Structures are given as structure tokens and as C-alpha cells.
């Protein structure tokens, strides 16, 4: 249990949900872990419609901030409607922060974009400490990727963001971006993402087969991807590679977990590649753990990431992972030891890696075992949550 003087935390996470990507899952898991450690915490999240059911800790207050278009979940694309939605959400956050200003000492933003930028001066007026966890690198929408962008506006935003008390860099790539933007090195703390190994863990062969039956999956070697169906995730490359491999290895089946604006396009590609009988688009699911434990090989073909939660989840379930050589992935996965790395966008490399794991099951098993060891030793939620507790105490001079 936490033993310092009581600290009250306000978590700001637009995507506070298990089915809205890694940022939302990380925010939810960390918040609930901190609550279990005796920290006083509440959450501000964007009010959205049409989400799958999610079991929240009822002892943690979650204030749903209004924004236009609550039916639109993914705001990753930089366009006018998404900017308007973000600004309306920012205004709602400001109202809640004002009403609750006596109930928190630190505001912890999950993401260092508009919700943070628009509320920095307000929070400094209230004399609150600000922590900003940078979620991704090089997108041009967060701290750490603004240098040389947006002309004068970019310079103003960087100047504003220098008032943040602490940036959380979840990868070396993000840390380098923050330094390039010109933020004080002493304000940058390197804390990686984590995984709850009590929620994600491997099961025996009998349970794996039971999960396959429960999920109505065929008795084939299951290949899995999980994440939002957006362009930077590289799912179109995965489909091309899978189509190449299934010609020889017909006893494989691909499942795609997640939703997004590319879903119809990807389904059309599957039809064009002639693989519709060997693929299933499952949409958003709340039981990712069950799908992962029905999986034989996990593939992550992304072009750009911050710290992919999906890779940690797969490794925690003891799966052999094929991932692209991007960002922090190369820090987590050592090629040929606890997974396989391929160049992003290279369908041939990806296909060859998949063929290797299909043809060499013992090798695939050893990669999965080493992946599990990596997670338990370095990315367990208990280890990471303790780092946040010490950071909060340090910021409050406790």
C-alpha cells in the first residue's frame, strides 16, 4: 500500500475504456491499480455512444465530459470535424477541472495534445501540478513532435507546453522528440507502458481448445492482429502477406480484432485476395484475453506507434510475436530471442517470418516462452505503478 501523505490525482483520458485502444486500456488499468494502492483518484473521459460494455471500478468517479459527435470514437485523423470535437471536449474538461479544483493536487493527462494544451494556463492558475504522458511519436499532434510544424503556432504551443511539470516518455523515440522540441531534460521521465499479468497470462492446451470452441474459431493455426483499423497499423500489408502464405499453408486462419474507418476497405481487400474463407473481422471485443489464448501466432505490422499495448498483451500470453522494427518495439523485442522483427511495409519479410513460425513450432514455442519472461521481468504493472507513485510523491515534495 501507498504510505506517503495522501495525494489526489485527476486522470484525463479521452479514451477511458478497454476497447478503445492501448491508451485507454493503460489509463484504466493504471487508475484502478493506483486506487488499490490507496491513492485518491478520479477520471475525466470523453462521453461517447455505442461502446461495448466495460466493467469499471465503481469506487472510482468517472466524469464524462461532453463533446459533439459522441458517436465518433477515433479522432486520430487531422481534419476539421475532429478538431471541432476535440475543442468541444477541451471546453468540457475545463469546466470539470474548475468545479473539482479543490479535489486534486496533480492532473495526469494520458496524451499530450489539445486537451492538455488548452488547459495548461488554467491549471497553473489553480497552482496544480501537471503530468503529461506522451502517447505516440512523430504524429505532429502531441508534445515531442511539434518542432518545425505549424509555423508560428507550433512555436507558441511548444512555449505553452514548457509549463508542464513532467512529461512521461514511454519510449526512447518519444524522449528524443521531447528533447528536440526543447523541453527541459529534468522534466522528462522515462516510464514504459505495462501489462497486468494477472489479467493476461498463458493457459494450457485444454483451455486453449476450449477458447477456440467458445469463440467459434476453426480447428486451424490461428494468426491474430488486434488494434484500431487505421492506415498506420499496416493491416493492408498483413493481408497481402497472409494471402501469400495461405497459398501453401492452407491450415491457417487470420482474426482481426478491433474496429475503425478502414474496416470496409480491408474486407474488400480480403475479397480481392481470395482469403475471405480464412479470415474473420471480429470488431471491438471485450474479451481480448480469450482471443489471445486461442491464438498461435500474433502479428503486429504497424508503421508508427508510441508503446503498443497490444504487443505486451500478446507477449504476456506467451505468444510468438512478429512485429515491425519501429519505435519502442525494438526495445521490447530482441529479434530471434523473444520474437521476430521485420521491416515495416515489407510484405515479403512478413510472409517469410510467418512461414518460419508455422514450419518450426518448437522455435515458435521458445520465442513465446522468452516473450513471457520479458514481460514478467520488465513490464509488470506492479513495477510500473510503483514508479508512478514515487513520481507523484516527488512532484509534491513528499
Choice between 327 and 105, residue whose per-residue pLDDT is larger: 105
Residue 254 and residue 119 share a domain: no
Confirm whether 1 is domain-assigned. Answer: no
pLDDT of residue 379: 95
Q: Per-residue pLDDT tens for 207-225?
A: 999 999 999 999 999 999 9
Do 227 and 280 have their domain in common? yes
- Per-residue model confidence (pLDDT) at position 1: 52
Same domain, 281 and 385: no
Residue 199 lies in a domain: no
Res 148 pLDDT > 80: yes
**CATH code of residue 147:** 3.40.50.2000
Classify residue 2: in a domain, yes or no: no
- Specify if 352 maps to a domain: yes
User: What pLDDT, on a 0 to 100 scale, did the predictor assign at position 56?
Assistant: 85
SS3 content of the chain, % helix, strand, coil (to 5): 45, 15, 40
Q: Is the pLDDT of residue 8 over 70?
A: yes
Q: Identify whether residues 41 and 161 lie together within a single domain.
A: yes
C-alpha cell at 256: 482481426
* 356 in a structural domain: yes
Sorted by sequence, the CB contacts under 8 Å of residue 361 that are 6+ apart come out as none
Same domain, 337 and 386: no
Task: Give me the pLDDT at residue 81, please.
Answer: 92
Based on the fold, state whether residues 268 and 303 are members of the same structural domain.
yes
180 and 216 belong to one structural domain: no
Cβ atoms of 379 and 361 within 8 Å: the answer is no
Quickly state the pLDDT bin for 5 (edges 50, 70, 90).
low
Residue 18 lies in a domain: yes
Top mean pLDDT of 18-22, 48-52, 139-143, 209-213 is at 209-213
What is the rounded average pLDDT for all residues in the chain? 94
- The pLDDT assigned to 216 comes to 96
Reading the block at residue 147, the C-alpha cell is 518542432
Residues 6+ apart with CB under 8 A from 3: none
Helix 347-359 / helix 361-378 crossing angle, nearest 10 deg: 100
- Report the alpha-carbon distance of residue 263 to residue 261 in Å, rounded: 6
Is 57 in the same domain as 182?
yes
Distances (CA, A) of 149 to 85, 152, 232, 284, 387: 22, 8, 20, 34, 33
Task: Residue 114: name the closest of 139, 143, 137 by CA.
Answer: 143
Q: Is residue 37 part of a domain?
A: yes
User: DSSP alpha helices (H): ranges in 130-214?
Assistant: 151-161, 172-181, 205-214
Residues 107 and 230 in one domain: no
How far apart CA 211 and CA 319 sit, in angstroms, is 15
Number of domains in the chain: 2
Cell numbers representing residue 297 in the block: 501466432
Q: Are residues 179 and 214 in the same domain?
A: no
Q: What integer pLDDT is reported at residue 64 of this predicted model? A: 96
Give the predicted TM-score (pTM) of the model: 0.86
Q: Which three cell numbers stand for residue 145?
A: 513532435
Judge whether residue 103 has pLDDT over 70. Answer: yes
Please indicate, yes or no, whether residues 372 and 390 belong to a single structural domain of this protein: no
Domain boundaries, position 12: 8-194+380-395
- C-alpha angle 150-14-178 in degrees, rounded to nearest 5: 40
pLDDT band at 291 (very low <50, low <70, confident <90, very high): very high
| pLDDT (tens digit per residue) in 38-89 | 999 999 999 999 887 788 888 999 999 999 999 988 787 778 999 999 999 9
Tell me the three cell numbers of residue 60: 472510482
Asked, for residue 250, whether it belongs to a domain, the answer is: yes
pLDDT above 80 for 306: no
For the ranges 12-26, 170-184, 295-309, the lowest mean pLDDT is seen at 12-26
Nearest CA among 345, 312, 298 for reference residue 326: 345
With residue 62 as reference, give the H or E element that holds it.
Answer: strand 62-65
- Per-residue DSSP letter, 52: P
103 against 2, higher pLDDT: 103
Amino acid at each position: 500500500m501507498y504510505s506517503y501523505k495522501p495525494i489526489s490525482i485527476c486522470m484525463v483520458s479521452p479514451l477511458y475504456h478497454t476497447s478503445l485502444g492501448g491508451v485507454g486500456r493503460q489509463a484504466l488499468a493504471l487508475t484502478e491499480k493506483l486506487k488499490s494502492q490507496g491513492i485518491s483518484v478520479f477520471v475525466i473521459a470523453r462521453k461517447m455512444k455505442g461502446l461495448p460494455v466495460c466493467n469499471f471500478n465503481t469506487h472510482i468517479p468517472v466524469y464524462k465530459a461532453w463533446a459533439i459527435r459522441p458517436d465518433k470514437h477515433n479522432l486520430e485523423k487531422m481534419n476539421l470535424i475532429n478538431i471541432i470535437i476535440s475543442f468541444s471536449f477541451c471546453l468540457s474538461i475545463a469546466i470539470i477541472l474548475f468545479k473539482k479544483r479543490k479535489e486534486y493536487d496533480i492532473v495526469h493527462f494520458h496524451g499530450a495534445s489539445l486537451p492538455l494544451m488548452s488547459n495548461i494556463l488554467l491549471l497553473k492558475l489553480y497552482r496544480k501540478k501537471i503530468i503529461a504522458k506522451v502517447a505516440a511519436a512523430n504524429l505532429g499532434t502531441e508534445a515531442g513532435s511539434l518542432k518545425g510544424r505549424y509555423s508560428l503556432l507550433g512555436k507558441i504551443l511548444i512555449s505553452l507546453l514548457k509549463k508542464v511539470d513532467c512529461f512521461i516518455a514511454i519510449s526512447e523515440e518519444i524522449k528524443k522528440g521531447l528533447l528536440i522540441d526543447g523541453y527541459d531534460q529534468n522534466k522528462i521521465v522515462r516510464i514504459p507502458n505495462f501489462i497486468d499479468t494477472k489479467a493476461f497470462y498463458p493457459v494450457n492446451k485444454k483451455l486453449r481448445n476450449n477458447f477456440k470452441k467458445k469463440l467459434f474459431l476453426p480447428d486451424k493455426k490461428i494468426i491474430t492482429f488486434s488494434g484500431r483499423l487505421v492506415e498506420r497499423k499496416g493491416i493492408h500489408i498483413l493481408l497481402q502477406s497472409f494471402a501469400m502464405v495461405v497459398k501453401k499453408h492452407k491450415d491457417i486462419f487470420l482474426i482481426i480484432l478491433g474496429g475503425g474507418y478502414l474496416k470496409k476497405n480491408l474486407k474488400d481487400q480480403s475479397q480481392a485476395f481470395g482469403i475471405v474463407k480464412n479470415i474473420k473481422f471480429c470488431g471491438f471485443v471485450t474479451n481480448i484475453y480469450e482471443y489471445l489464448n486461442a491464438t498461435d501466432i500474433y502479428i503486429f505490422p504497424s508503421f508508427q506507434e508510441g508503446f503498443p499495448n497490444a504487443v505486451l498483451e500478446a507477449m504476456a500470453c506467451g505468444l510468438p510475436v512478429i512485429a515491425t522494427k519501429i519505435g519502442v518495439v525494438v526495445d521490447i523485442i530482441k529479434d530471434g530471442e523473444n520474437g521476430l522483427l521485420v521491416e515495416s511495409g515489407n510484405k515479403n519479410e512478413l510472409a517469410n517470418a510467418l512461414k518460419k513460425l508455422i514450419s518450426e513450432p518448437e522455435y515458435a514455442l521458445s520465442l513465446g516462452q522468452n516473450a513471457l519472461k520479458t514481460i514478467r521481468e520488465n513490464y509488470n504493472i506492479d513495477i510500473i505503478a510503483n514508479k508512478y507513485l514515487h513520481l507523484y510523491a516527488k512532484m509534491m515534495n513528499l
